[in-house]
Amino acid sequence: MKRVRPRAVLDLLTRISIIGIGLSLPVWLYLAELRPRIALHRTEKDLRALAAACDQALRSAEATEETRAQLDPAQAARLDLSLEIGRLPCKSYSALTEQLLSEGVSRHALAALNLSATSDPAYPDLRAVLVDADQLDAQLRVTSRLFDLTPLPLKEYLRDAKFRLGERLFFEPLLSGHGDRTCATCHVLALATVDGAALETHLDVSPEWLPGAPARNVPDLWNRDHNDVSTMLWDGRLQAVAAADEGGLELPEPLPTTGFENLMALQSVRPIFIPAEMLGEPGAGNVLVPEARGTPVPEAVLSRVASRLYKVDERGKETETYQRLFRKSYGVGAADEVRPAHLGNALAHYIEIAFQSRDTPWDRYLAGDLSALSADQKSGALIFYGIGRCAVCHAGDVFSDFGFHSVGVSDIREEKDLGRFYATGLAEDRFLFRTPPLRNVTLTAPYFHNGQGKTLSEAIQQHLNPYQFARAYAEGGEHLMGPAEIDAIAPILAPRSMITYAQVELLIAFLKSLEDRRAGNLSP
């Protein structure tokens, strides 16, 4: 047997070792260099997007901090929730960076990528943020819990006698002094209960019969039966300070509120006795106010309505007479038994049943249908409740706190609209207007109290930069906005907004989800 020399064995082992090292070197290089690079490349898009979203949220929170002391407690609480939602991407960013560090990615590489993603104030990487449906739904679950979001509560669509009476009154021209106007004249069904104009159209009456406030944009009628609705009109001259049955309804005119069921009932009869709205010029030819002397007394005007309506019954043109409808609804027979509250309550009953948001993607989503919203709408919802701080004022089921704020909308008219001041007479209430509800807002352009915002994009941009007209000049050479108007701008809007144009489009997508499927195609 041939004897193996020790040197040969050593050479063999050396060769095996060299081969082993050669084979393990690529593995070592992969673990040390390639694997971290591949991991970083694989997640770079998400990492950049999350870094940008987190940076935007943190900078926004820092800019907002100084304004918290100027907010009322309810607003401050909602602001805190918005900031918490805005920071949700920071948690995802931290989790992803920890995962990458465990895979060997260096802190230097992560820091460089973060700096690159957050250095552009336009945040271009935000376009890619949270495209994953599971992440969006998870963050919206947090949002829903924090803001206690639930589907809009609805009343049953029941066409009872009171509904039919209110419906007929809504389209009845005999509610106007000259028989030429109805509720539907301004609240056009084909236009989602607005009239599509910047400003309401007043009747041609003498200057003495014009209202004290300038003409305004016609408000919609959606969901006005909701318990959150505590004020009406842009300046809140109609308001509920307590329950209706406790005498808590207030309006500027001398009309007793006894018997009115809610604010909508009171508002429903108000245009009937306002000369510039439905009543018309008092005097000969005006059936509801034949005397031209003195201010029309609301109760006297409304007391003539039933007699006028009952005369229609005598002509035999309707199968279901007003007399029969009033009897079925309230148990009253003769015209002189019909009270103003009967008219208002019937109108309000029709309005609050007919104009409810019954079929919206947002409500279906909150009810558990996660497919009801698109990815853009979900992203827009997170911006609305989070970084956009929209829900600080547009709160609740109908998206309004029914408080009074200024978003810096300029008024180019000779007579400035003083807003809430007309209701309170307080100097600090000048230029403040009620927060408009947002359901079906995509159908009710133009926007703001004076119709200044032609599109929803313009309206949102106004909120993002309320000082844009502060130094602009009118045709006469004066500033569009005076110092008092600038000072009135809501403090929540004072910090510079960091919302990008792409995020504005996502906000509009979310607001589209508040649209009732049938709202744009209503018919009598």
Bond preceding residue 495 cis, omega within 30 of 0: no
Where is pLDDT greater, at 145 or 243?
145
Residue found by looking up tokens 């060299």 in the block:
18
119 and 248, same domain (yes or no): no
- When mean pLDDT is compared across 174-183, 263-272, 384-393, 410-419, the lowest value belongs to 410-419
329 and 349, same domain (yes or no): yes
Q: Considering 355, 373, 395, which residue would you say is the last residue of a domain?
A: 355
Q: Considering 294, 323, 355, which residue would you say is the last residue of a domain?
A: 355
* pLDDT tens per residue, range 323-337: 999 999 999 989 999
The pLDDT of residue 5 is 64
Pick from 221, 509, 275: nearest CA to 382: 509
Mean pLDDT in residue range 9-34: 59
Nearest-5° Cα angle at 305, 299 to 307:
120
Pick from 204, 219, 309: nearest CA to 268: 219
pLDDT at 8 over 80: no
Q: Considering 355, 382, 409, which residue would you say is the last residue of a domain?
A: 355
pLDDT at 316 over 70: no
DSSP letter string, 289-302: ----SSPPPHHHHH
Tokens of 497: 């907004």
* CATH number, domain containing residue 193: 1.10.760.10
Pick from 384, 512, 373: nearest CA to 440: 512
For residue 313, tell me if it sits in a domain: yes
408 and 334, same domain (yes or no): no
Pick from 33, 41, 124, 48: nearest CA to 89: 48
- Structural domain tally of the chain? 2
- Interatomic CA distance for residues 327 and 342, integer angstroms: 11
500 and 369, same domain (yes or no): yes
For residue 139, tell me if it sits in a domain: yes
264 and 338, same domain (yes or no): yes
- Interatomic CA distance for residues 258 and 195, integer angstroms: 31
For residue 84, tell me if it sits in a domain: no
421 and 453, same domain (yes or no): yes
Q: Determine the structural domain holding residue 344 and report its residue range.
A: 161-355
* pLDDT tens per residue, range 86-113: 999 999 999 999 998 888 888 998 999 9
| Torsion angles phi and psi, residue 406, rounded to 5 | -115, 135
For residue 235, tell me if it sits in a domain: yes
Q: What is the pLDDT of the chain when averaged over all its residues? A: 89
335 and 367, same domain (yes or no): no
Q: Judge contact between 407 and 493, C-beta under 8 A.
A: yes
342 and 244, same domain (yes or no): yes
* pLDDT tens per residue, range 122-149: 888 886 655 678 889 999 999 999 999 9
Mean pLDDT in residue range 409-432: 92
pLDDT at 31 over 70: no
* pLDDT tens per residue, range 439-458: 999 999 999 999 999 999 99
* pLDDT tens per residue, range 109-121: 899 999 999 998 8
Residue 231 — left, alpha, or beta (φ > 0 → left; ψ -120 to 50 → alpha)? beta
- Interatomic CA distance for residues 433 and 449, integer angstroms: 7
Percent of the chain with pLDDT over 90: 67
AA letter at 283: G
Pick from 489, 438, 386: nearest CA to 78: 386
- Parallel, antiparallel or unpaired: strands 249-250 and 238-240: antiparallel
Where is pLDDT greater, at 118 or 12?
118
Contacts of 444 (CB under 8 A, 6+ apart): 191, 192, 193, 194, 220
202 and 325, same domain (yes or no): yes
AA letter at 397: D
* pLDDT tens per residue, range 451-506: 999 999 999 999 999 998 877 777 777 778 889 999 999 999 988 888 999 999 99
Q: How far is CA 218 from CA 7, 183, 324, 331, 449, in A?
A: 103, 12, 33, 34, 8
- When mean pLDDT is compared across 8-17, 224-233, 369-378, the lowest value belongs to 8-17
* pLDDT tens per residue, range 174-223: 999 999 999 999 999 999 999 999 999 999 999 999 998 999 999 999 99
501 and 367, same domain (yes or no): yes
377 and 503, same domain (yes or no): yes
pLDDT at 516 over 60: yes
Q: Judge contact between 151 and 367, C-beta under 8 A.
A: yes
The pLDDT of residue 130 is 54
For residue 20, tell me if it sits in a domain: no
For residue 524, tell me if it sits in a domain: no
pLDDT at 2 over 60: no
DSSP letter (8 states) at residue 308: H
Q: What share of the chain is helix, strand, coil (3-state, %, to 5)?
A: 55, 5, 45
343 and 376, same domain (yes or no): no
* Three-class DSSP category at 433: strand
Mean pLDDT in residue range 62-73: 90
For residue 404, tell me if it sits in a domain: yes
Tokens of 250: 């207030």
The pLDDT of residue 33 is 62
Question: Inter-axis angle of helices 73-86 and 88-102, to 10 degrees?
Answer: 30
For residue 201, tell me if it sits in a domain: yes
